[in-house]
Amino acid sequence: MKAALLALLAASALAEPPSPSSPVMLSGPWVPEDSHQLDFVALPRVPSQHVVINDVTAKGNDPTQLDKKKGGVNQHNYLAHHDGQFWAMWSDGPGIEDRVGQRVKFATSSDGLKWSTPKFLTPIPPNSGPDSPHYGTRTEKGMRWISRGFWQRDGELLALASVDEAAGFFGPSLELRAFRFDKASGEWRDAGLVFDNTINNFPPMKLRTGDWMMSRRQHDYKTSGVHFLVGGIKSIGDWQSFPVLGSASELKAEEPDWWILPYNTLAAVFRDNRRSGFLYRAFSTDDGHTWSTPQKTNFPDATSKISGLRLRDGRYVLVSNPNPKKRDPLTLSISDDGLAFTKMLYLVGGRHIDYPHVIEHGDSLFIAFAGGKQSVEVLKVKLSDIDAVKMPEKPMRIGDAK
């Protein structure tokens, strides 16, 4: 099995880049012709271990971080494994969501299942603490931090967070900053500006050129569209910005993710804020400098954040909310080539679940997600359990007899 997979990957490395016009991103006899008719609740299940890192509705939380009616927010969760332990970070603040006074918290774990008591990673945003008259509101008169992930750069772990005015998405003071962990004090220190007028979606990933790349949205991204930043070698603030489209007039793209295909073509996928209920996809053959026009795929989507990853064995996984009607359930999809996903497995559901981030460590995937935007939770899923699950040989349509 392993030898056959390696042979397939070797052959793929010599293949021509994929056609950017192909809409097929979900494939198999189990996929209905209209993928919106897929019975998401009936998808095959995969075993997992589950843990809650933090829950703002639980007793014992800092009362200054709680909204009496809704309990506050836990969202924008990210994972990393560095220096022998797991790290998690997320946005934590008053009310749902991204209000004045919001900060970033973090926790650590030796095994990804037992986590330390959460602590603050970012300082109180400027003039926006619990004593501010604007605390817990949505206004341009106050500021907030938003969690943006861990960047493992040259053996060092950096934490990224954006800061801007808390009125809408996003304020004119928007900037992306890095923080460096001080082992002596156990606290994070500001390491400087990464890029002005920027919020990323996931931390940078290294290209074949040695450059790093990550997505970029500007404060006016609803008109300027999505960009990608390439650089980060000379310093954490050394980047060039390249647009996917000249503006957002062609696609209201949000929260993109991307991965490297076997032949070093880049594939990027985008949530569509025009609510088509499908993911869009674009390709780059010049390391993120130019992109094909994003095309609608047949991969269903709830207009929610997605998280993809190329595994060490060459396969690809994608964690998402595929049900176009709501962010429930959360699923795991698998692809041999990074283009067509031929397996989709039910992870967790029966409630509002979103904002996943998946990493691979050892023989397992670790998937962080938000529950109702108020809890940070993690699933540990063994790769062998994923491989053991088989998909049906006929379409799984809603309403069909089981």
Higher pLDDT, 252 or 172: 172
Residue burial 175-208, b: 16+ Cβ < 10 Å; e: rest:
bbbbbebeeeeeebeebeebbebbbbbbbbbebe
> Is residue 32 over pLDDT 90?
yes
Q: How high is the pLDDT of residue 264? A: 87
The answer as to whether 398 is a domain residue is no
Alpha-carbon distance of 191 to 194, in angstroms, equals 9
Sheet holding 85-93, edge to edge: 73-82, 85-93, 103-109, 119-120
The Cα–Cα gap between 103 and 98 comes to 9
Q: What is the pLDDT of residue 368?
A: 98
Percent of the chain whose predicted confidence (pLDDT) is above 90: 83
Look at the chain and report how many structural domains it folds into: 1
The pLDDT assigned to 64 comes to 44
Q: Please count the other Cβ atoms lying within 10 Å of the Cβ belonging to residue 7.
A: 10
In a domain, 402, yes or no: no
Confidence bin at 246 (pLDDT 50/70/90): low
Residue 397 within a domain: no
Q: Can you give the residue range of the structural domain that contains 287?
A: 24-388
Q: Give the tens place of pLDDT for each residue, 352-385.
A: 999 999 999 999 999 999 999 999 999 999 999 9
Q: What is the pLDDT of residue 58?
A: 74
Backbone torsions φ then ψ of 216, nearest 5 degrees: -140, 130
85-110 pLDDT, tens digit per residue, is 999 999 999 988 999 999 999 999 99
Per-residue pLDDT averaged across 300-326, rounded? Answer: 97
pLDDT mean over 199-224: 96
Q: Does position 62 have pLDDT exceeding 60, yes or no?
A: no
Q: Would you state the pLDDT for residue 15?
A: 43
For 49, counting Cβ atoms within 10 Å of its Cβ (0-12 exposed, 13-18 middle, 19+ buried), the class is: middle
* pLDDT per residue as tens digits for the range 109-132: 999 999 999 999 999 999 999 999
**In a domain? residue 245:** yes
Give me the pLDDT at residue 71, please.
78
Say if residue 336's pLDDT is above 70: yes
Burial class for 358, CB neighbours closer than 10 Å (0-12, 13-18, 19+) = buried
Whether 277 maps to a domain, the answer reads: yes
Instruction: List, for residues 147-183, the tens digit of each pLDDT value.
Output: 999 999 999 999 999 999 999 999 999 999 999 999 9
Exposure on the CB side of residue 397, measured as CA atoms within 13 A:
8
**Percent of the chain at pLDDT exceeding 70:** 90
pLDDT at 10 exceeding the cut of 70: no
Which residue in 268, 277, 218, 269 sits closest to 248, CA to CA?
Answer: 218
User: Is residue 145 pLDDT above 70, yes or no?
Assistant: yes
Tell me, letter by letter, the H, E, C secondary structure of 53-80.
Answer: EEECCCCCCCHHHCCCCCCCEEEEEEEE
Residues 324-342 have a mean pLDDT of: 97
- pLDDT, averaged across the chain: 91
Q: What is the pLDDT of residue 88?
A: 98
Check residue 8 and give its pLDDT. Answer: 37
DSSP state string for 147-181: EEEEEEETTEEEEEEEEEESSSS--TT-EEEEEEE
CATH number, domain containing residue 328: 2.120.10.10
What is the average pLDDT across 5-29?
A: 59
303, two tokens: 């207009």
Rounded Cα gap, residues 53 and 29, in angstroms: 38
CA distances from 181 to 65, 156, 178 (A): 23, 9, 10
Residue 6 has phi, psi (to 5 degrees) of: -65, -40
User: Does a structural domain hold residue 194?
Assistant: yes
Q: Determine, yes or no, domain membership for 171.
A: yes
Q: Would 400 be classed as within a structural domain?
A: no
Is the distance from CB of 166 to CB of 159 less than 8 angstroms? no
Res 243: pLDDT = 94
